[in-house]
C-alpha cells in the first residue's frame, strides 16, 4: 500500500520501479522473518525467559524480551489504538502495545468503575495470550481529575491550581487522581499539561498552570503525585519511575511550545528563537524529566514552521540525548497524520518523518492496520533502520517493566471505592478555595463587600447568572465528554448555588434568578442585602475554545450591569482564562476569578462567606483589551488591568 503512495507516475518506468521495490521489500521481509523466527524458536513458550523474572536487572529483562520479538511484535508495541476498536482479538492479532480512551470514550454511559475494570481486563487478556505475553498499557486523559468517568472527583483546571502557587497541593491532587484512575483499572494518564500559555486566546489556556515558566516548573510536582516520589537513592536521571499499583505513569505534554502559537491559535506555529524556546517553553520539561516522568507527548504545533511531530532535533537530539529522557515519546491523537497538509495526504511520508524524528508510540485511534502495514514496509525497504524500531520498543518496555505491568497485568476491584471518595472531594474543595483570586473588594471610599455576611439583615439575598447553578459549566472541557457539557445531570457534585445555600444562615432566603430583568431588580432592590452574580464561558476544549475577542458571553454583561446597578454585588467569573471585564468593573462592588473550579462548588462559597480567606494570586496577566495580546509579565510594554501575581487577601470571618 505504500508503493501506490510513492508517486512513481503512470509510465512503464514507474510501474517497473514499483515492481522492483515490491520485490526488494518481499526479499527483505523474508530475511527479517527468518532471522526473527529463528531467534524466537528456542523459547517460543517463554519457558525459562529471563524477562519474566522480576529479580533480574531491568536492562537484562528488556534485552531478553527485545531479542525474542519479531518485527510484527515490535511494531505492535509502537501502536496505540482507540478503545472502541480494541477487542481482545484485535489486541492479540496485531500485538497491540497500548489502548486509549479519547475524550468521552467510555464502556457505557455512567459506567461504574467495575465496568471499566472488566473492559480493560478483557483487552489485557488478548495481550497476555500472545506468544510473548506483553501487557498493554491503557491510557486516558485525566487532566483535572478522572474526567471521563461518572462520579469522579473533578479538580480545578490547571490555570486555577497555578494561582495557589502550592506545589505540595498539586502533588496531593496528583496522588488522589492516580487512585481514582486506578479505581477503573487504568495505569497511565495523559497528564500533566506543562504548556506555558503566553496568549489567553488559546483554547487550551486553562490546561496551563501559568504564563510564567517558573510557576509551571514548580507545579510539575503533580508528576510526583501521579507516579510517586523517587526515593533519595533512586535510579538513573531521566529514567521513568512509578512507585506501585496505587500510582500511574504520567505524561508531560505537549512537547514543546504549544502555548506560544501565533494569536493563540491551537495547533498553530510558534515563532521563537532557540533561546526563547529554551527559556520559556522548555523549563517544565527539565523538571518533568528529573521527576522521572514516564512519557512525553509531542505537540500538534510547529516551531518556526517545522511540525513538532517531525522535529528530530528537539525530540531526539534535545529530549532524548541532551536531557537523557529514557521513557517513551508518544504522538498526539492522529498527530503524525497532521505532519502533512491536508492531514493523511501522504501517510508513508508522515510515518517516516515521525518515527525518524524519535516518536516511539503512535496514537493511531482508527487507522492502525494502515499504520502497521506502512511502518512494516518502511522497515523492510530500509527507510527506517531496525535500530530506530528497537530504541522505540526498548523505551516502551522500560516503562512497562518499571510500572510492574508484567507482574500485575490485570486490574482488580479493590480500589473501586477510591473513585469520587469524600477525602478527594475535600481536597478538591480546598483546591477551589485556594485557587480563587479576589480582584476587587469594595468601591472607592466604600467598605469592602467581602466576606459576605451569612445572615441577611433584610432576610434575602439574590443569586443570579448562568453559571450559578450549572455543574457542567463550572467543570469546563474534558469532563464526561471531550468538549464538556452544560447542566447538572452529567455527574455528581455541588454547584456554586448549592454551596451558597449551604453556607448561609438558615434564616436567610436565597433567591435564584438566572437572568433577572431591570424591572424586577428595581422593584425588589430593597428586598436583597446583596447579590452574587455568577457568569462566564461555556465549556470547550482545544480548537473549539480558540477565541479572538474574549468577551463574557451574553447575557453575562447585561446580568452584571442590571444587578450591580440596583444591588451591592460580587461578580464571580467562571472561565478558563481572563476575559474582558474592564467595561463592567466600575459597576461591581467585588470581583472574583473562580476559573473552572470543578465539581466542588462549595469551595467558592467557603471563601465568599469568610470561612476561609482569599489567598490566590494571578497565574496570568489580566489584560485590559485583546488588542494588547499577547502580553506577559516582563514585556517592555506591560499595561495590565491586573498584573501577574495580583490578588487581594481577606481574613476568615469570626462568626
Q: How many CB atoms lie within 10 A of CB 512?
A: 16
| Closest-CA residue to 172 (of 494, 478, 415, 428) | 428
Query: What is the per-residue pLDDT for 10?
Result: 30
Quick: pLDDT tens for 493-509.
999 999 999 999 999 99
Q: How far is residue 179's CA from residue 185's CA, in Å, rounded to a whole number?
A: 10
Given the residues 166, 337, 470, 542, the one annotated as active site? 542
Q: How far is residue 397's CA from residue 402's CA, in Å, rounded to a whole number?
A: 8
Stronger pLDDT, 226 or 1, i.e. the higher one: 226
Do the strands 437-441 and 590-593 form a parallel or antiparallel pair, or are they unpaired? antiparallel
302-303, strands of its sheet edge to edge: 269-270, 302-303, 306-307
Name residue, grid cell 506555529: 269
Query: What is the per-residue pLDDT for 158?
Result: 99
Q: Do 618 and 591 meet the contact criterion of CB atoms below 8 Å apart?
A: no
The helix (run of H) or strand (run of E) holding residue 303 is strand 302-303
- Residue 47: which pLDDT band, with cuts at 50, 70 and 90? low
Task: Look up 89 and say whether it is catalytic.
Answer: no
Report the chain's mean pLDDT, rounded to a whole number: 93
Do the strands 302-303 and 269-270 form a parallel or antiparallel pair, or are they unpaired? parallel
- The set of residues, in sequence order, having a beta carbon less than 8 Å from that of 153 and lying 6+ positions away, is 145, 146, 176, 177, 180, 419, 420, 421, 424, 425, 427, 428, 598, 599, 600
- Comparing 25-34, 385-394, 495-504, 631-640, which segment has the lowest mean pLDDT? 25-34
- Residue 1: which pLDDT band, with cuts at 50, 70 and 90? very low
Stronger pLDDT, 21 or 486, i.e. the higher one: 486
Q: Give the residues across from 252 on adjacent strands.
A: 296
Task: Look up 627 and say whether it is catalytic.
Answer: no
Mean pLDDT value across residues 423-435: 99
What is the end-to-end Cα distance of the chain in Å, rounded? Answer: 74
Stronger pLDDT, 403 or 23, i.e. the higher one: 403
Q: What are the DSSP calls for 531-600, one per residue?
A: EEEEEEPPP--GGGG--SS-BPPTTHHHHHHHHHHHS-EEEEEE-SS--B-HHHHTT-SEEEE-----SB
pLDDT beyond 60 at 371: yes
Given the residues 141, 211, 332, 418, the one annotated as active site? 332
pLDDT beyond 50 at 20: no
What percent of the chain has pLDDT above 90?
91
Amino acid at each position: 500500500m505504500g508503493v501506490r503512495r510513492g508517486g512513481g507516475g503512470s509510465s512503464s518506468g514507474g510501474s517497473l520501479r514499483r515492481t522492483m521495490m515490491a520485490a526488494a521489500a518481499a526479499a527483505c521481509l523474508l530475511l527479517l522473518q527468518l532471522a526473527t523466527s529463528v531467534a524466537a524458536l528456542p523459547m517460543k513458550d517463554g519457558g525459562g525467559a529471563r524477562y519474566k523474572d522480576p529479580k533480574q536487572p531491568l536492562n537484562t529483562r528488556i534485552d531478553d524480551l527485545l531479542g525474542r520479538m519479531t518485527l510484527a511484535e515490535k511494531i505492535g508495541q509502537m501502536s496505540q489504538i482507540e478503545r472502541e476498536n480494541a477487542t481482545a482479538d484485535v489486541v492479540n492479532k496485531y500485538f497491540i502495545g497500548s489502548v486509549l480512551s479519547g475524550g468521552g470514550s467510555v464502556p457505557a454511559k455512567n459506567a461504574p468503575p467495575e465496568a471499566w475494570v472488566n473492559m480493560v481486563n478483557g483487552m489485557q487478556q488478548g495481550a497476555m495470550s500472545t506468544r510473548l505475553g506483553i501487557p498493554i498499557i491503557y491510557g486516558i486523559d485525566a487532566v483535572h481529575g478522572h474526567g471521563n468517568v461518572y462520579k469522579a472527583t473533578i479538580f480545578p483546571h490547571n490555570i486555577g491550581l497555578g494561582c495557589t502557587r502550592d506545589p505540595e497541593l498539586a502533588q496531593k491532587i496528583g496522588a488522589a487522581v492516580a487512585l481514582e484512575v486506578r479505581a477503573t483499572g487504568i495505569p497511565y494518564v495523559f497528564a500533566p499539561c506543562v504548556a506555558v500559555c503566553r496568549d489567553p486566546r488559546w483554547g487550551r489556556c486553562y490546561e496551563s498552570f501559568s504564563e510564567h515558566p517558573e510557576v509551571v516548573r514548580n507545579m510539575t510536582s503533580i508528576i510526583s503525585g501521579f507516579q510517586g516520589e523517587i526515593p533519595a537513592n533512586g535510579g538513573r536521571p531521566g529514567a521513568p519511575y512509578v512507585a506501585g499499583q496505587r500510582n500511574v505513569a504520567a505524561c508531560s505534554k505537549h512537547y514543546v511550545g504549544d502555548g506560544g502559537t501565533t494569536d493563540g491559535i491551537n495547533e498553530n506555529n510558534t515563532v521563537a528563537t532557540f533561546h526563547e524556546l529554551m527559556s520559556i517553553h522548555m523549563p517544565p520539561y527539565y523538571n518533568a524529566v528529573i521527576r522521572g516522568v514516564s512519557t512525553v507527548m509531542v505537540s500538534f504545533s510547529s516551531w518556526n514552521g517545522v511540525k513538532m511531530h517531525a522535529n528530530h532535533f528537539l525530540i531526539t537530539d534535545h529530549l532524548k540525548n541532551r536531557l537523557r529522557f529514557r521513557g517513551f515519546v508518544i504522538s498526539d491523537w492522529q498527530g503524525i497524520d497532521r505532519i502533512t497538509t491536508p492531514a493523511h495526504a501522504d501517510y508513508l511520508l508522515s510515518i517516516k518523518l515521525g518515527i525518524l524524528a524519535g516518536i516511539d508510540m503512535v496514537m493511531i485511534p482508527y487507522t492502525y492496520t494502515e499504520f502497521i502495514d506502512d511502518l512494516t514496509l518502511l522497515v523492510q525497504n530500509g527507510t527506517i533502520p531496525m535500530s530506530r524500531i528497537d530504541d522505540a520498543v526498548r523505551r516502551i518496555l522500560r516503562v512497562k517493566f518499571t510500572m510492574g505491568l508484567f507482574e500485575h497485568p490485570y486490574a482488580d476491584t479493590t480500589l473501586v471505592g477510591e473513585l469520587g471518595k469524600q477525602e478527594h472531594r475535600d481536597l478538591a474543595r480546598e483546591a477551589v478555595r485556594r485557587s480563587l483570586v479576589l480582584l476587587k473588594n469594595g468601591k472607592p471610599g466604600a467598605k469592602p463587600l467581602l466576606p459576605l455576611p451569612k445572615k441577611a439583615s433584610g432576610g434575602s439575598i439574590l443569586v443570579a447568572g448562568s453559571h450559578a447553578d450549572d455543574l457542567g459549566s463550572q467543570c469546563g472541557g474534558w469532563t464526561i465528554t471531550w468538549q464538556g457539557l452544560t447542566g447538572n445531570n452529567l455527574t455528581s457534585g455541588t454547584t456554586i448555588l448549592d454551596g451558597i445555600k449551604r453556607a448561609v444562615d438558615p434564616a436567610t432566603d436565597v433567591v435564584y434568578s438566572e437572568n433577572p430583568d431591570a424591572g424586577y431588580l428595581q422593584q425588589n432592590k430593597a428586598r436583597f442585602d446583596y447579590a452574587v452574580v455568577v457568569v462566564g464561558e461555556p465549556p470547550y476544549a482545544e480548537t473549539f475554545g480558540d477565541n479572538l475577542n474574549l468577551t463574557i458571553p451574553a447575557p453575562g454583561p447585561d446580568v452584571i450591569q442590571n444587578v450591580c446597578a440596583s444591588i451591592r454585588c460580587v461578580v464571580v467569573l467562571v472561565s478558563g482564562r481572563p476575559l474582558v471585564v474592564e467595561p463592567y468593573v466600575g459597576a461591581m462592588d467585588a470581583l472574583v476569578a473562580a476559573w473552572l473550579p470543578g465539581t466542588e462548588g462549595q469551595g467558592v462559597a467557603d471563601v465568599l462567606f469568610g470561612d476561609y480567606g482569599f489567598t490566590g494570586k494571578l497565574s496570568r496577566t489580566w489584560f485590559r483589551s485583546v488588542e494588547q495580546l499577547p502580553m506577559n509579565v516582563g514585556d517592555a510594554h506591560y499595561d495590565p488591568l491586573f498584573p501577574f501575581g495580583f490578588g487581594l487577601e481577606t481574613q476568615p470571618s469570626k462568626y
